[in-house]
Amino acid sequence: MGIQIKFKFSIVLFFCCGSIFAQPTVISNNYQTKSGVPHLKIERTMIYTPGKEWLYNHHPSIIHFKDKFIAIWSDGLVDEDSPGQRVVYATSKDFFHWTVARPLASPAKVKDTLTVLTAAGLYQHKGTLVAYYGEYTHNRKNTHLWAKTSTDGEHWSQPFDMHVPLIPNHGPEAIKSGRLIISGNFLFPYTDDPSGISGWKLSSPYPDSLYKQDNSAAFYAPAAKLGLPPLCEGSFFQTDDNILHMLLRVTGKGWKGHLWLTESKNNGESWSKPVETKFSDNDSKFHFGRLPDKRFYYVGIPDTLHHYDRNPLVLSISSDGKQFNKNYIIADELYHLKKEGLWKGGQYGYPHTIIYKGYMYVIISRQKESIEVLRFGLGELK
Protein backbone atom coordinates (compact mmCIF):
# COMPACT_ATOMS: atom_id res chain seq x y z
CA MET A 1 0.00 0.00 0.00
CA GLY A 2 2.84 2.40 0.85
CA ILE A 3 4.38 1.89 -2.58
CA GLN A 4 1.04 2.68 -4.26
CA ILE A 5 0.65 5.88 -2.25
CA LYS A 6 4.20 6.94 -3.10
CA PHE A 7 3.61 6.28 -6.79
CA LYS A 8 0.33 8.21 -6.83
CA PHE A 9 2.00 11.09 -5.02
CA SER A 10 4.78 11.22 -7.62
CA ILE A 11 2.17 11.45 -10.38
CA VAL A 12 0.33 14.25 -8.58
CA LEU A 13 3.64 16.03 -7.97
CA PHE A 14 4.49 15.70 -11.67
CA PHE A 15 1.29 17.41 -12.77
CA CYS A 16 1.50 20.05 -10.03
CA CYS A 17 5.08 20.91 -10.99
CA GLY A 18 3.93 21.35 -14.55
CA SER A 19 1.63 24.15 -13.39
CA ILE A 20 4.59 26.11 -11.98
CA PHE A 21 5.26 27.22 -15.54
CA ALA A 22 3.02 29.74 -17.22
CA GLN A 23 1.05 28.64 -20.26
CA PRO A 24 3.46 26.89 -22.63
CA THR A 25 4.48 28.65 -25.80
CA VAL A 26 2.07 28.05 -28.66
CA ILE A 27 4.36 26.63 -31.33
CA SER A 28 2.92 25.86 -34.75
CA ASN A 29 3.75 25.48 -38.42
CA ASN A 30 1.64 26.01 -41.53
CA TYR A 31 2.96 23.22 -43.76
CA GLN A 32 0.24 21.13 -45.42
CA THR A 33 1.55 19.71 -48.70
CA LYS A 34 4.59 20.38 -50.87
CA SER A 35 2.38 21.89 -53.55
CA GLY A 36 3.49 25.48 -54.13
CA VAL A 37 6.40 25.26 -51.67
CA PRO A 38 9.65 26.50 -53.27
CA HIS A 39 12.58 24.13 -53.73
CA LEU A 40 16.00 25.18 -52.53
CA LYS A 41 18.96 24.90 -54.89
CA ILE A 42 21.06 22.25 -53.18
CA GLU A 43 24.30 20.39 -53.64
CA ARG A 44 24.48 16.83 -52.41
CA THR A 45 26.90 13.96 -52.06
CA MET A 46 26.55 10.40 -50.85
CA ILE A 47 28.97 9.79 -47.99
CA TYR A 48 28.38 6.07 -47.73
CA THR A 49 26.45 3.38 -49.58
CA PRO A 50 26.95 -0.23 -48.48
CA GLY A 51 28.13 -3.08 -50.63
CA LYS A 52 27.37 -6.60 -49.44
CA GLU A 53 27.87 -6.01 -45.72
CA TRP A 54 27.17 -3.41 -43.02
CA LEU A 55 23.80 -2.78 -44.61
CA TYR A 56 22.15 -0.66 -41.87
CA ASN A 57 23.27 2.96 -41.55
CA HIS A 58 21.43 5.58 -39.49
CA HIS A 59 21.66 8.25 -36.72
CA PRO A 60 24.10 10.54 -38.59
CA SER A 61 25.68 13.76 -37.29
CA ILE A 62 28.08 16.20 -38.93
CA ILE A 63 30.52 18.88 -37.78
CA HIS A 64 33.29 21.02 -39.28
CA PHE A 65 36.43 20.63 -37.21
CA LYS A 66 39.67 22.42 -38.05
CA ASP A 67 40.21 21.78 -41.77
CA LYS A 68 37.59 19.11 -42.48
CA PHE A 69 34.01 17.93 -42.25
CA ILE A 70 33.49 14.90 -40.02
CA ALA A 71 30.43 12.67 -40.07
CA ILE A 72 29.56 9.84 -37.69
CA TRP A 73 26.71 7.36 -37.78
CA SER A 74 25.50 3.98 -36.55
CA ASP A 75 26.61 1.09 -38.75
CA GLY A 76 24.83 -2.25 -38.39
CA LEU A 77 25.25 -5.64 -40.05
CA VAL A 78 21.69 -6.03 -41.40
CA ASP A 79 18.95 -4.89 -39.00
CA GLU A 80 18.26 -1.82 -36.91
CA ASP A 81 19.87 -1.65 -33.45
CA SER A 82 20.92 -5.30 -33.38
CA PRO A 83 23.92 -6.84 -31.59
CA GLY A 84 27.19 -5.97 -33.28
CA GLN A 85 26.12 -2.48 -34.35
CA ARG A 86 29.11 -0.13 -34.27
CA VAL A 87 29.83 3.59 -34.81
CA VAL A 88 31.86 4.73 -37.83
CA TYR A 89 33.11 8.04 -39.19
CA ALA A 90 34.26 9.58 -42.45
CA THR A 91 35.93 12.89 -43.29
CA SER A 92 36.04 15.36 -46.17
CA LYS A 93 37.94 18.55 -46.88
CA ASP A 94 35.67 19.74 -49.70
CA PHE A 95 32.17 18.32 -48.96
CA PHE A 96 32.16 16.34 -52.22
CA HIS A 97 34.85 13.71 -51.60
CA TRP A 98 34.71 11.56 -48.47
CA THR A 99 37.06 8.99 -47.03
CA VAL A 100 35.97 5.41 -46.56
CA ALA A 101 34.05 4.75 -43.36
CA ARG A 102 36.30 3.76 -40.45
CA PRO A 103 35.33 2.36 -37.05
CA LEU A 104 35.16 4.92 -34.25
CA ALA A 105 33.85 2.49 -31.62
CA SER A 106 33.19 -1.24 -31.68
CA PRO A 107 30.78 -3.18 -29.45
CA ALA A 108 31.84 -5.25 -26.49
CA LYS A 109 30.81 -8.82 -25.77
CA VAL A 110 28.53 -9.48 -22.81
CA LYS A 111 27.60 -13.11 -22.07
CA ASP A 112 28.63 -14.21 -25.56
CA THR A 113 26.49 -11.53 -27.27
CA LEU A 114 27.76 -8.27 -28.70
CA THR A 115 26.35 -5.02 -27.39
CA VAL A 116 24.66 -2.37 -29.54
CA LEU A 117 26.30 1.01 -30.17
CA THR A 118 24.48 4.12 -31.38
CA ALA A 119 26.08 7.29 -32.74
CA ALA A 120 25.10 10.21 -30.51
CA GLY A 121 26.57 13.40 -31.94
CA LEU A 122 29.68 15.57 -32.08
CA TYR A 123 30.91 18.61 -30.15
CA GLN A 124 34.10 20.69 -30.18
CA HIS A 125 35.78 22.95 -27.63
CA LYS A 126 39.15 24.71 -27.82
CA GLY A 127 40.66 22.46 -30.45
CA THR A 128 39.32 19.17 -29.11
CA LEU A 129 36.61 17.19 -30.84
CA VAL A 130 34.29 14.96 -28.81
CA ALA A 131 32.33 12.10 -30.39
CA TYR A 132 29.51 10.57 -28.32
CA TYR A 133 27.93 7.16 -28.59
CA GLY A 134 25.48 5.14 -26.56
CA GLU A 135 25.64 1.48 -25.67
CA TYR A 136 23.22 -1.10 -24.35
CA THR A 137 22.98 -4.87 -24.23
CA HIS A 138 20.91 -6.73 -26.81
CA ASN A 139 17.81 -6.58 -24.58
CA ARG A 140 18.07 -2.77 -24.39
CA LYS A 141 19.33 -2.72 -20.83
CA ASN A 142 22.49 -1.46 -19.09
CA THR A 143 22.46 1.79 -21.08
CA HIS A 144 25.63 3.92 -21.01
CA LEU A 145 26.82 7.05 -22.76
CA TRP A 146 30.46 7.12 -23.86
CA ALA A 147 32.72 9.68 -25.52
CA LYS A 148 36.03 9.73 -27.34
CA THR A 149 38.17 12.80 -28.03
CA SER A 150 40.48 13.80 -30.86
CA THR A 151 42.67 16.77 -31.72
CA ASP A 152 42.84 16.01 -35.45
CA GLY A 153 39.64 14.10 -36.29
CA GLU A 154 41.69 11.05 -37.18
CA HIS A 155 43.20 9.66 -33.98
CA TRP A 156 40.92 8.98 -31.03
CA SER A 157 41.31 8.58 -27.28
CA GLN A 158 40.17 5.71 -25.17
CA PRO A 159 36.46 6.00 -24.24
CA PHE A 160 35.26 8.20 -21.38
CA ASP A 161 32.25 7.10 -19.34
CA MET A 162 29.76 10.00 -19.16
CA HIS A 163 27.95 8.29 -16.26
CA VAL A 164 24.60 8.95 -17.93
CA PRO A 165 22.15 6.09 -18.70
CA LEU A 166 21.15 7.58 -22.03
CA ILE A 167 21.19 7.09 -25.80
CA PRO A 168 21.04 10.76 -26.96
CA ASN A 169 19.02 12.04 -29.87
CA HIS A 170 21.43 14.91 -30.57
CA GLY A 171 24.85 15.67 -29.14
CA PRO A 172 25.47 18.52 -26.66
CA GLU A 173 24.36 22.01 -27.65
CA ALA A 174 25.31 25.17 -25.79
CA ILE A 175 22.73 27.61 -24.46
CA LYS A 176 23.30 31.32 -23.71
CA SER A 177 24.73 30.68 -20.26
CA GLY A 178 27.35 28.35 -21.74
CA ARG A 179 25.70 25.29 -20.22
CA LEU A 180 25.57 22.22 -22.47
CA ILE A 181 22.37 20.25 -22.86
CA ILE A 182 21.84 16.85 -24.49
CA SER A 183 18.50 16.11 -26.13
CA GLY A 184 17.31 12.61 -25.27
CA ASN A 185 13.86 11.04 -25.32
CA PHE A 186 12.79 12.23 -21.87
CA LEU A 187 16.18 12.74 -20.24
CA PHE A 188 17.94 16.03 -20.99
CA PRO A 189 21.28 15.96 -19.14
CA TYR A 190 23.21 19.19 -18.62
CA THR A 191 26.72 20.17 -17.60
CA ASP A 192 28.62 23.39 -16.96
CA ASP A 193 31.88 21.73 -18.01
CA PRO A 194 32.66 23.45 -21.34
CA SER A 195 34.66 20.43 -22.51
CA GLY A 196 31.48 18.32 -22.54
CA ILE A 197 33.19 15.44 -20.76
CA SER A 198 32.31 15.62 -17.06
CA GLY A 199 29.72 16.88 -14.60
CA TRP A 200 26.61 15.67 -16.38
CA LYS A 201 23.43 15.90 -14.30
CA LEU A 202 20.11 14.30 -15.17
CA SER A 203 17.04 16.39 -15.88
CA SER A 204 13.61 15.37 -17.12
CA PRO A 205 9.95 16.38 -17.19
CA TYR A 206 9.24 12.93 -15.71
CA PRO A 207 9.55 11.98 -12.01
CA ASP A 208 12.80 10.08 -11.46
CA SER A 209 10.85 7.28 -9.80
CA LEU A 210 9.55 6.24 -13.23
CA TYR A 211 12.80 5.43 -15.01
CA LYS A 212 16.28 3.97 -14.73
CA GLN A 213 17.50 4.61 -18.28
CA ASP A 214 16.55 6.35 -21.52
CA ASN A 215 16.91 4.49 -24.80
CA SER A 216 14.87 3.43 -27.83
CA ALA A 217 12.71 1.09 -25.74
CA ALA A 218 12.64 2.80 -22.33
CA PHE A 219 10.48 5.81 -23.18
CA TYR A 220 7.19 3.91 -23.55
CA ALA A 221 6.51 2.84 -19.96
CA PRO A 222 6.97 6.15 -18.08
CA ALA A 223 4.86 8.03 -20.63
CA ALA A 224 2.06 5.49 -20.33
CA LYS A 225 2.08 5.75 -16.53
CA LEU A 226 1.61 9.51 -16.87
CA GLY A 227 -1.16 9.21 -19.42
CA LEU A 228 1.04 10.60 -22.20
CA PRO A 229 1.71 9.23 -25.68
CA PRO A 230 5.16 7.76 -26.37
CA LEU A 231 7.36 10.88 -26.43
CA CYS A 232 10.88 10.59 -27.77
CA GLU A 233 13.79 12.10 -29.74
CA GLY A 234 13.79 15.73 -28.64
CA SER A 235 15.41 18.79 -30.17
CA PHE A 236 15.39 22.24 -28.58
CA PHE A 237 15.97 25.92 -29.25
CA GLN A 238 16.28 28.90 -26.89
CA THR A 239 14.41 32.16 -27.39
CA ASP A 240 15.60 35.61 -26.31
CA ASP A 241 13.61 35.35 -23.06
CA ASN A 242 15.98 32.45 -22.17
CA ILE A 243 13.23 29.83 -22.27
CA LEU A 244 14.30 26.46 -23.67
CA HIS A 245 11.71 24.87 -25.94
CA MET A 246 12.20 21.11 -26.31
CA LEU A 247 10.03 19.62 -29.06
CA LEU A 248 9.33 15.89 -28.94
CA ARG A 249 8.34 13.28 -31.47
CA VAL A 250 5.35 11.03 -30.83
CA THR A 251 5.61 7.51 -32.23
CA GLY A 252 3.76 4.22 -32.36
CA LYS A 253 0.03 4.07 -31.69
CA GLY A 254 0.20 7.49 -30.01
CA TRP A 255 1.08 9.29 -33.25
CA LYS A 256 -1.55 11.84 -34.26
CA GLY A 257 0.55 14.03 -36.52
CA HIS A 258 1.91 16.64 -34.09
CA LEU A 259 5.02 17.33 -32.06
CA TRP A 260 4.79 17.80 -28.29
CA LEU A 261 6.56 20.41 -26.17
CA THR A 262 8.24 20.71 -22.79
CA GLU A 263 9.94 23.92 -21.65
CA SER A 264 12.56 25.01 -19.13
CA LYS A 265 12.94 28.46 -17.59
CA ASN A 266 15.96 27.60 -15.43
CA ASN A 267 18.58 26.58 -17.99
CA GLY A 268 17.47 22.98 -18.19
CA GLU A 269 17.40 22.10 -14.49
CA SER A 270 13.68 21.28 -14.65
CA TRP A 271 11.08 20.93 -17.38
CA SER A 272 7.35 21.55 -17.68
CA LYS A 273 4.64 18.98 -18.26
CA PRO A 274 4.68 18.02 -21.97
CA VAL A 275 1.79 19.31 -24.08
CA GLU A 276 0.72 18.82 -27.67
CA THR A 277 1.59 21.54 -30.17
CA LYS A 278 0.15 22.51 -33.55
CA PHE A 279 3.41 21.64 -35.30
CA SER A 280 2.82 18.82 -37.80
CA ASP A 281 5.12 15.81 -37.95
CA ASN A 282 5.52 12.63 -40.02
CA ASP A 283 6.80 10.50 -37.08
CA SER A 284 10.52 11.11 -37.43
CA LYS A 285 13.49 12.81 -35.85
CA PHE A 286 14.06 16.52 -36.59
CA HIS A 287 16.48 19.31 -35.73
CA PHE A 288 15.86 22.87 -34.54
CA GLY A 289 18.41 25.67 -34.61
CA ARG A 290 19.00 29.37 -35.20
CA LEU A 291 20.18 31.15 -38.31
CA PRO A 292 22.88 33.86 -38.27
CA ASP A 293 20.12 36.45 -38.85
CA LYS A 294 18.53 35.25 -35.55
CA ARG A 295 15.53 33.54 -37.14
CA PHE A 296 14.73 30.06 -35.86
CA TYR A 297 14.64 27.02 -38.10
CA TYR A 298 13.38 23.46 -38.21
CA VAL A 299 14.59 20.71 -40.53
CA GLY A 300 12.42 17.63 -40.63
CA ILE A 301 9.43 15.95 -42.20
CA PRO A 302 6.20 17.88 -41.44
CA ASP A 303 4.03 15.92 -43.91
CA THR A 304 1.15 14.03 -42.27
CA LEU A 305 -0.51 12.62 -45.40
CA HIS A 306 2.02 9.82 -45.88
CA HIS A 307 2.79 8.56 -42.40
CA TYR A 308 6.36 7.40 -41.96
CA ASP A 309 7.39 7.95 -45.60
CA ARG A 310 9.76 10.68 -44.35
CA ASN A 311 9.44 12.70 -47.52
CA PRO A 312 9.86 15.54 -48.42
CA LEU A 313 12.68 16.98 -46.31
CA VAL A 314 11.57 20.49 -45.33
CA LEU A 315 13.12 23.63 -43.86
CA SER A 316 10.70 25.82 -41.90
CA ILE A 317 11.63 29.26 -40.55
CA SER A 318 10.20 31.42 -37.77
CA SER A 319 10.96 35.01 -36.82
CA ASP A 320 9.58 34.65 -33.28
CA GLY A 321 10.11 30.99 -32.33
CA LYS A 322 6.34 30.46 -32.32
CA GLN A 323 5.01 30.42 -35.85
CA PHE A 324 7.14 28.49 -38.35
CA ASN A 325 5.41 29.81 -41.44
CA LYS A 326 8.10 30.07 -44.12
CA ASN A 327 8.72 26.71 -45.80
CA TYR A 328 11.20 25.35 -48.33
CA ILE A 329 11.60 21.90 -49.83
CA ILE A 330 15.20 20.81 -49.31
CA ALA A 331 14.86 17.49 -51.14
CA ASP A 332 12.21 15.01 -52.26
CA GLU A 333 13.99 12.66 -54.66
CA LEU A 334 13.55 8.95 -54.02
CA TYR A 335 16.21 6.48 -52.93
CA HIS A 336 15.70 2.80 -53.80
CA LEU A 337 16.58 0.30 -51.10
CA LYS A 338 19.28 -2.20 -51.99
CA LYS A 339 18.64 -4.74 -49.22
CA GLU A 340 15.65 -5.21 -46.91
CA GLY A 341 16.21 -5.19 -43.16
CA LEU A 342 14.34 -4.76 -39.89
CA TRP A 343 12.69 -1.30 -39.75
CA LYS A 344 14.63 -0.10 -42.78
CA GLY A 345 12.67 2.62 -44.56
CA GLY A 346 12.02 6.34 -44.77
CA GLN A 347 13.40 8.48 -47.57
CA TYR A 348 15.03 11.21 -45.44
CA GLY A 349 15.81 9.85 -42.00
CA TYR A 350 16.97 11.64 -38.85
CA PRO A 351 18.38 14.96 -40.10
CA HIS A 352 21.11 16.80 -38.26
CA THR A 353 22.25 20.28 -39.29
CA ILE A 354 25.17 22.66 -38.98
CA ILE A 355 25.80 26.13 -40.38
CA TYR A 356 29.27 26.84 -41.74
CA LYS A 357 30.53 29.72 -43.89
CA GLY A 358 27.23 30.78 -45.39
CA TYR A 359 25.81 27.29 -45.93
CA MET A 360 23.47 25.02 -44.04
CA TYR A 361 24.57 21.39 -44.11
CA VAL A 362 22.03 18.63 -43.55
CA ILE A 363 23.10 15.03 -43.04
CA ILE A 364 20.49 12.31 -43.34
CA SER A 365 20.14 8.56 -43.75
CA ARG A 366 18.43 7.22 -46.87
CA GLN A 367 16.07 4.39 -45.97
CA LYS A 368 18.44 3.63 -43.08
CA GLU A 369 20.88 2.22 -45.61
CA SER A 370 23.00 5.03 -47.07
CA ILE A 371 24.29 8.29 -45.60
CA GLU A 372 23.97 11.51 -47.60
CA VAL A 373 24.83 15.14 -46.93
CA LEU A 374 23.12 18.14 -48.55
CA ARG A 375 23.90 21.82 -48.47
CA PHE A 376 22.43 25.11 -49.64
CA GLY A 377 23.41 28.76 -49.40
CA LEU A 378 21.75 30.81 -46.67
CA GLY A 379 21.31 33.61 -49.22
CA GLU A 380 18.39 31.61 -50.65
CA LEU A 381 16.36 32.12 -47.47
CA LYS A 382 14.33 35.27 -47.95
Domain count, the chain: 1
pLDDT digit string (tens) for 93-151? 999 999 999 999 999 999 999 999 999 999 999 999 999 999 999 999 999 999 999 99
Q: CA 300 to CA 283: how far, in whole Å?
A: 10
The pLDDT of residue 11 is above 80 = no
pLDDT digit string (tens) for 58-68? 999 999 999 99
pLDDT digit string (tens) for 291-313? 999 999 999 999 999 999 999 99
Residue type, 134: G
Q: What is the DSSP string of 246-285?
A: EEEEE-GGG--SEEEEEEESSTTSS-PPPEEEEEE--SS-
Q: Which domain holds residue 56?
A: 2-380
pLDDT at 21: 54
- The CATH number of the domain holding residue 193 is 2.120.10.10
Burial class (CB in 10 A: 0-12, 13-18, 19+), 294: exposed
Quickly state the pLDDT bin for 25 (edges 50, 70, 90).
Answer: confident
Residue 313: alpha-carbon gap to chain centroid: 15
pLDDT at 23: 75
pTM of the model: 0.94
From edge to edge, which strands make up the β-sheet containing 349-356?
43-48, 370-377, 359-366, 349-356
pLDDT digit string (tens) for 181-215? 999 999 999 999 999 999 999 999 999 999 999 99
Q: CA 21 to CA 206: how far, in whole Å?
A: 15
26 neighbors 322 (Cβ within 8 angstroms)? yes
Q: CA 182 to CA 170: how far, in whole Å?
A: 6
143 neighbors 215 (Cβ within 8 angstroms)? yes
Q: CA 235 to CA 281: how far, in whole Å?
A: 13
First-to-last C-alpha distance (Å) of the chain: 61
Q: Name which of 2-6, 39-43, 290-294 the model is least confident about.
A: 2-6
Average pLDDT over residues 17-32: 76
Strands 359-366 and 190-191: unpaired
pLDDT at 246: 98
Average pLDDT over residues 156-168: 98
Quickly state the pLDDT bin for 1 (edges 50, 70, 90).
Answer: very low
284 torsion bin: left (phi>0), alpha (psi -120 to 50), beta (else): beta
Q: CA 338 to CA 133: how far, in whole Å?
A: 27
Residue type, 274: P
